[in-house]
Amino acid sequence: MKNLFIKGAISPEFIAISIAKHQSKKTIGAHNIFLGQVRADMVGENTVKAIEFSCYQEMAEKEMVALRETAFKKFNLTCMHIHHSIGEVKVGEICIFVFVSAPHRKNVYKATEYIVEQVKTNVPLFGKELFYSNTHQWKQNK
């Protein structure tokens, strides 16, 4: 999968260009996008300033390819893109971008939710929550 992992934050420009690239695809009638943003969580007296993401790359790529195949079949999608940040992403910046397209709207809502949940559950990505106090804790998906 092309550009699956992006170093640092996913920029609004990258997202805009990705949308623009689909204007030539005439069978698409609906897009849906999920953007995950780094939140300034409070943990006790500490506040998150950034998350440093890392991954087990070979397994993450394998899981993403499998997820892509499953999602295409399950939701009859025309297009699907997933990008996740690796490295440090500051509060307020985007760390995951899921973009699905199909002829009609109903499937793209379901597909987006399914894909995001599967990424959280099955893809070996790790996140170190960095605090302003220069300490950290490891993020756990709920």
Partner 1 sequence: MIRITVKYYGEVAEKAQKEEEIINIEESNTQAILDYLKQTYGLAQEVKVAVNLELVTSATTIESTDEIAILSQFAGG
* 138 belongs to the binding site for partner 1 (CB under 8 A): yes
Decide whether 28 or 123 has the Cβ nearer to partner 1.
123
Judged by CB under 8 A, which stretch of 23-31, 67-75, 103-111, 116-124 contacts partner 1?
116-124
Identify whether the C-beta of residue 60 lies closer than 8 Å to the C-beta of residue 125.
Answer: yes
Nearer to partner 1, 60 or 108 (CB): 60
The contact mask relative to partner 1 for 35-74 (x = CB under 8 A, - = no) is -x--------------x-xxxx-xx--x------------
Q: Does residue 122 belong to the site contacting partner 1 (CB under 8 A)?
A: yes
Contacts to partner 1 from residues 77-106, by CB under 8 A: 84, 95-96
64-72: list long-range contacts, CB under 8 Å, 24+ apart.
Answer: 64/1, 64/4, 64/119, 64/123, 65/1, 67/115, 67/118, 67/119, 67/122, 67/123, 68/1, 70/118, 71/100, 71/111, 71/114, 71/115, 71/118
Minimum CB–partner distance for residue 92 and partner 1 (Å): 16
Q: Which of 37, 21, 36 is nearest to 101 (CA)?
A: 21
When binding is defined by CB under 8 A, the residue of 21, 29, 120, 135 that contacts partner 1 is 120
Query: What does the alpha-carbon distance between residue 52 and residue 78 come to, in Å, rounded to a whole number?
Result: 32
Binding site for partner 1 (CB under 8 A): 36, 51, 53-56, 58-59, 62, 84, 95-96, 116, 119-127, 138-141
